Every structure is written in structure tokens, then in C-alpha cells.
Chain A
């Protein structure tokens, strides 16, 4: 095994000897075990470990990032040597000021679960067997089509020219996904639910699988509804997907600076309904985006991004913060090996409303409740236009379900839907990967379905 802390200090020294004015090392080791099953039973499993290193080098304002899978100390040193040679020939970046100068830690809770660290294939397999039993018990028309479980342990190390003491943390991640399929008289529907968090704390297998089964069953025999304008309740997982596709990119400082955000020049103005408050929290307990520091070592923070509809801040890493004369908000995220950090959401938390979903349905004369969509990520963040196809939905009139719906496209602009067309947020919230969100009800959504 490689002594990472020793290698990091050697690598920084070597880069500086070769002429680098600034050096940053970012190393990750990930151990994982995963099991995958279908309705026929467990199909396969895998286990392994991989270590990767990214090195960011600056020679004055000439900057580069190089990354590699590493298998020895020499791999890291070679990577440094290559990075310095590339940094010499790349053009200067006029916006470059420096690497972060104050690395450190924020206190975090529920980032590690020893039960996840100890997970073996046998335990995962038994969770899968349990999962496969539940849908037919709830309804004989249902079965679990796909179940996948992954448990991993991640350790990260960061050091740079300004804080040569290596900072490090460990975190566990557990993901569980189940897709339930329902069939009756030639009709079919399917619905999936998942849990993705650092700990088991909020994992309730039975509730997840039962909920997925209930929705799959209740959306059997779905068909399109007539083309027109509708009030829609986007359930939390759909609302989270919409925010991920449209709002998160729009509050990233890099996108704002590059004219790719409709929220450019909108700081301290009302951009959404006064009922909407959104927080980005890099240290929220038991959320996957949490860590003591971000991907360039800056301590994570909790910040209100939208306060009662008013945009208060963009999300910054060090590079974009210097451009706007701001401080990093601890939002540096590395999108992949060899890529420089860019600002991105850590955990997005939407403050819930006061009415239950049931009450919102009852209070609407007619409303389409959308449980799942596909293609919402095709939406256009540069203008906020939403486009998605509903795959599981139910149309309600006067509080009563009229028909299950699928195969319709949904269009609208989120800055209109979540502003003048906003109706309500639910009081129930759901953990959807790095988002904690309620359901949202909006009016005047364009739906294309049956020909009028």
C-alpha cells in the first residue's frame, strides 16, 4: 500500500523543484462492493479498490490539471513531472490568482456508518432477497424488476503549496435502488425508488419498496390526457430532478460568468415566489454532498441561495470567487479525473411548505400529480425552459383520482412556474440524493398529449 501523506509531501516538493509556483494534490481511494439483482434473483456482484490522483500546477498564470489512476508512488511523481511540463506550454489564464490559501475542516455529522464499512456481499445479498419478497406481498400484480445496492468507503486527501499539511476525511456511501413493475391484462407500468446517503440512518427498506409498488400499481392502465394547460404537482423526486437540471446550473458562478445563466445580474432581486427558500449546505447530516471540505480543501459552508424568492448568492469555488471579488462558498467539485474543480451544488435543501400533498390535491379543482418523468435533464438551463415526459402520473378532479397518465410532454419556464404560477410547497419532504425537497404545485403547465 502507498503511504499517501508521504507521497503528497514528496510530490509537492518535486513540483516546486521543477519550477511550479503553486501545486495542489488531490487523491481519492475508493473501496466498493455492489450487488445487482433482477426479478429472477441475484445476477452478479463486484468488489474492488481504485486510487486516483489529480495534480493542479501553476507556473505564474499558466495552469493545468492532470489526473491518473495510481498504482505506485512513482505514478504520482510522474504525474507531477508531466503536469509541470504541460503547464510550461499552456497559455496564461488572465483570471488566475491563486490556489485556495485557507484550507481546513468544517464539523460534520453522520458522514460515516461503520455498518456500511463492514458490509460484505452476504449482507447485501440478504437485503436484496428481502426486497424481492415485498412487492408481491403488497399486490400480486407487482414484482421487483431490478434491485441494485452499492456500499463504498471513500478517503480523500488534499494538500497545496499554502497548506502543506495534508487534510483528509473518510466517508461512507450507501445506495439502494428498486424498480417495481406491475402488469395486468396486457397493461404494464413501472416505478423506481432509491435511497442514497452516507449512512443507514434514514433507510427504511419496507417503506421504500411498498411506496414504489403502490405507485406502480396505481399508474397501471395509464394513457395520455388531452393537450392543454394544467395545474401540476411535481412530487419530490421530480421536483429535485427539475432543480438539478435548471436551477443548480443557473446559480453556479462559472455559468453566470460565462453568460450561460438566466440569473446573471439578478443578485438581490426576486427570481422565484416569496414562498421558496433554498439552502446549499455542504455539511448537512447524512447527505451525500456533505464533507468537511470541498474538492480543493476549502471548508464547506451552509448558505441561503434563494431567500423568500430573492437570489442571495451564486455558488463559488476559489477561481470563480476571485473573478467576482468574493470568497469561495466551499462549492468546488471535481467533475472527473484531470478536470479542474468547478462550482456546483453540495446539498440543495428546499424549505418545505405547510400543507400536505393530500390537502393540496383536495384544494385543487383539477390537478395532475406527476410521480416520475424521463428526460427532464434535457431542459435548457440557459433560459430555464423545462421539457420532460411524464411516465407515472395521476389526474385528479375534486380530490378524486380520475385516470392514471403517461406519455405526455410537459413544458414551461421554471422562472414563471416557480413565480407567478406557483401554488404551494408540501410539508412532506424527501431525501433525493443530494437534495432534500418537498413536492411543488404549479399552474399553467403546457401538456402535449392526445390530439384535441
Chain B
């Protein structure tokens, strides 16, 4: 990667000399180690590496992007010309700079601190850990299939721009995921979960993985013996994990400046309006504990805490340099790209709801017949941000009867309209929890980036609940 860093400033200058009014150069190297045991057999043990250089140019009103994995001094003019010709082809015909002095690039660096470099740890040690956990699972009663995975990612970036950005970021994320498939009679159910830390191998060494994997196996087996929920409309308590998923998908995407600008967001034109119950405050925060660190975005802008909803009122949107300009706002440090093959788009970092003061158990009081919706084993979600409609696969959950936890139900999905749901939030607990994952993230427009999400437990007056 070092030789690409050396070339970055040269390319930046070349772009400005060849007609770009502004430019951003991003050098990136992502290394991912993966060890997978599937039904007792090692299926993956690999270290993959993606590296290269990407160039964004601003010409008149247009933005062009070019990238290459094969870069040397001789190929600089080609990369620069491609980006500029792409931008010019868009023919906005304006001589005016799209963005200018108001954009303040960041200077600085961030590096994840760790005690034990995961890549220095003996491969056999890691293989043995995953092998044991997977083999133990396969011996459990009712478990017919198990998939256990170790993952570690080092993402290094170097960004320079004509907006005076010069930032260096190195994030190390490490974790383990487990998927158990259980059978009871003819019923087959699966539950998967993961735990990720930002840091080194010391986190793997001190965490109790055996209990973690056992809980998943146990939940899968109990779920296979559970009945499905009767589809209908329920009063619901939603746990931290599911609140995070719901907010990210159904609200976070609608708060992204590109969606707002292009009429694809249900939140467009609602700044200052009530969009949720007054108990709801939502932020996007680059550096929250438990989340994925995003100190600077991929355009080289500092990521600070952005308030999206304050006490139920829509307070702001997430912006890149480009969407901020188009919406007449300021960049919030939310321009992110999967890797060098993509230009940045507006993305969330760690998007979560803030705590209120209720105790978790108080949320259950007074519910005559409802459902406690759990995130563990959830299947993910999908949303139409233009309309605010969403649907989510929920993990094994519990029926609530007269304020008490009743039986487990499996294969639950929820759907609704996010604005209606957030207005129906009548209690918010005091147990904020934010998490991230080295195994997945957000896949907007085909680009996977790591994100964090979470929140406290919340209670919703009514939710459409179905079965999958």
C-alpha cells in the first residue's frame, strides 16, 4: 500500500492540473481473514486482500470517478483522464465549482489500539478454536447442522483532497459468528448470531465463546419446538438489537441526503416536523462505544455526532460533500465506499436511539396480550425509504400475557410504516447498547460497509406481525 500512498498526492496534483476543479484521492487496502467450519469440516481458511486507488474529480457541476488495482507512475495520466472524461460526459455545462471554500477537509489519523495483532497469532490456534466450537455444536441434541466462522478485518485508508484533507485510518475488527440448524420432528429452524470487537486478538482470548455458541444452539432447538405466531396486529416490546436494525433500515436510510435530494425519502421536507413520539431521539455517531469507528469519512471529512431526531422532531439529514451542497446543508462526514471500486455515497455510521429513563421490566407492565420481539437470530430487513414501509425477519420471540413473558414463537416477521411505528413508541428504556459486525453490514446500492446500530428497549402500541 505504501507505494500507492506515495502516488496519491501526485495523482491529486495531476487531476487539478488536467482540469479538475476539485479532487479526492483514496488509497485503500482491506485484508480479511476468514476461518469457517461447516458441519465439522474446515471449508474456508483464507486471507483475502483488496487494494488500489480511486480518484473523484469535480468538473463544473459533475462528479467523475475512476479506479484501478494496477497502478504505477505511467498509469497516472490514464486514471486522471478517465475520471475527468467521465465527469465531462455528464455535461452539466456549468463552469461553476460544485463545491468550494465552505468544505473543510479534515487532517488527522486514527488507529485501532490492540494488544495482540490477530495476524501474528498462530493459524493453528485460530483453526482449533473454531473447530472445537463447531464440533461441540454438532454433538448437541437436536442440532443437525452448524456453521462457525472467525473473521478479522484490517481496513487501512489514506485520503488526500483539494479540500485540504489528509487523513489516515486503520480499523481492526475481529469476531466470531455461529449458525445452528435444529430439527424437532419435521420442524427445522435456524438461529445465527455474531459477536464483534474493535481491537486485537486479546478480545477473542478473553470472551466465553463456548457459552455464546451454546446459547445459540439452545435457542435454535427450543425454536424448532415452538409454534408460529398467529399473524395480526400486536402491542410489542422490541429489544435493543431489533430496535437498531429497525432504525438503520427503516429510518436511517430515509435520513440519507442522497435519498432526500432525489425525492426517495419519506423524510423529505419534514425538517422541524414531528416524525416520532417525543420519547424518541436518534443520532448518527462515528465513534460510539460498541460501534464501528468512523472518525473521518471517505471524502476526508470529520464525522461528528449528527442528531437526526430530537425528542420526536426531525433535526437533520446525513450528508456527503455533494449532497450537502445540493441540499444547502453542511457535510456530516457520512460519505463512505465499500472499497476502491466504488465512489462514495451517503451512508450511516453508527445509527441508534438514545436512552430514556424507564426500566426494561416497566415496558411489559400493562400489556394484556402482546409480543416481545427479539433481534437474536433475526434475518435482516428491507425497506422502501421513499414510502417508509419496512419488513424484518425477527428472531425467536415471546408472547406477552398480562405483563408476563409467555411461550416462545418462531419464524416471526414484522412490517409497517416507520413514521407510524415511531409515533406509536410509548416507552423507551434506559439500557442503550450499540453493536457492530465484522461479518456483515449495510449493502446499499451493492456496496457493503461496516456499520453499528442499537438502542434501548422500546414499547410500541401496535405492530403488524406475520410469520415466515
Residues of A within 8 A of B (CB): 1-2, 33, 35, 38-52, 64-72, 82, 86, 89-91, 93-95, 120-122, 125, 143, 145-146, 148, 179, 181, 188-190, 224, 227, 257-260, 262, 336-340, 374-375, 377-380, 382-383, 385-389, 391, 406-411, 446-449, 451-452
Contact = CB atoms under 8 A, between A and B. Distances in A.
Interface stretch (B35-43, B168-176, B433-441, B452-460): B35-43
Nearest to B30: A69
B127 A89 contact: yes
B467 A259 contact: no
B419 interface: no
Given A93-B42, A146-B262, A72 B70 contact: yes
A391 B380 contact: no
Interface in B372-387: 379-384, 386-387
B144 interface: yes
Given A69-B52, A389-B415, A409 B464 contact: yes
B247 interface: no
Contacts of A383: 187-189
B464 A449 contact: yes
Interface in B30-55: 32, 34, 38-39, 41-52, 54
Interface stretch (B9-17, B86-94, B200-208, B301-309): B86-94
B241 to A, nearest CB: 15
Given A121-B89, A380-B190, A375 B50 contact: no
Contacts of A260: 145, 181, 188, 190
Is chain B's interface secondary structure helix, strand, loop, or mixed overall?
strand
B42 A91 contact: yes
A391 B384 contact: yes
B69 interface: yes
Given A374-B391, A409-B231, A181 B386 contact: yes
20 contacts: A2-B70, A44-B90, A47-B65, A48-B67, A48-B341, A50-B52, A51-B69, A70-B70, A71-B51, A91-B131, A148-B445, A181-B264, A337-B50, A378-B392, A385-B411, A409-B391, A409-B465, A409-B467, A449-B464, A451-B232
B209 interface: no
B87 to A, nearest CB: 7
B60 interface: no
Contact of A71 (B52, B92, B183, B342): B52
A35 B124 CA distance: 46
B413 A259 contact: no
Given A258-B38, A374-B384, A383-B189, A68 B48 contact: yes
Given A38-B261, A448-B464, 8 more contacts: A42-B62, A72-B70, A94-B41, A145-B386, A377-B382, A389-B413, A411-B467, A448-B465
B287 interface: no
B52 A374 contact: no
A153 to B, nearest CB: 15
A179 B131 CA distance: 46
A121 B181 CA distance: 48
A447 B464 CA distance: 11
Nearest to B47: A66
Contact of B46 (A33, A43, A66, A181): A66
A189 B65 CA distance: 32
A120 B47 CA distance: 35
Contacts of B42: 90-91, 93
B293 interface: no
A50 to B, nearest CB: 5
Contacts of B411: 380, 385, 387
Nearest to A125: B89
Contact of B70 (A40, A51, A121): A51
A48 B48 CA distance: 20
Given A68-B48, A146-B264, A259-B144, A48 B82 contact: yes
Contacts of A41: 92
B333 interface: no
B387 A188 contact: yes
A377 B379 CA distance: 9
Given A69-B69, A380-B411, A46 B86 contact: yes
B406 to A, nearest CB: 20
Given A39-B263, A409-B413, A382 B48 contact: no
Contacts of A386: 468
A146 B261 CA distance: 11
Interface centre among A89, A257, A260, A262 (most CB of B within 10 A): A260
Interface centre among A33, A51, A391 (most CB of B within 10 A): A391
